[in-house]
Amino acid sequence: MELDAFDHHSSIPGTTLFDGEMAMKGYALNKMCYSFNKKESREEYLRDPEAYFDKFGLNDEQKQACRDKNVLAMIKAGGNIYYLAKFAGIYKMSVQDVGAQQTGMTTEEFKEKLLRAGD
Partner 1 sequence: MATIIGGLTTSHIPAVGNAIAKELFDDPYWKPFFKAYPPIREWLDVHKPDVAINIYNDHGLGFFLDQMPTFAIGAAHEYRNEDEGWGIPTLPPFPGHPKLSWHIIESMVADEFDITSCQELPVDHGFTVPMQLFWPGLGDNPNFPRAIPVSANTVQHPIPTLKRAYAFGQALGKAVRSYPEDIKVVVLGTGGLSHQLDGERAGFINKDFDLMCMEKIVTDPEELTKISRHELVRQAGAQGTEFLMWMMMRGALGDKVTPLHQNYHIPISNTGAGTMMLECAA
Binding positions for partner 1, rule: CB under 8 A: 10, 12-20, 23, 27, 30-31, 33-34, 36-39, 42, 71-72, 75, 80-86, 89-90, 95-96, 98-99, 102-103, 110, 113-115, 117-118
Q: Phi, psi at residue 94, to the nearest 5°?
A: -80, 170
CA distance 21 to 65: 19
Q: DSSP label at 5?
A: G
Longest dimension (CA), the chain: 48
Q: Supply the minimum distance, in Å, between the C-beta of residue 2 and partner 1.
A: 17
Q: Supply the minimum distance, in Å, between the C-beta of residue 73 and partner 1.
A: 12
**5/12 with CB nearer partner 1:** 12
CA distance 2 to 100: 36
Q: Supply the minimum distance, in Å, between the C-beta of residue 70 and partner 1.
A: 13
Q: How many helices (H) and strands (E) does the chain have?
A: 9, 0
**64/107 with CB nearer partner 1:** 107
Q: Supply the minimum distance, in Å, between the C-beta of residue 7 and partner 1.
A: 11
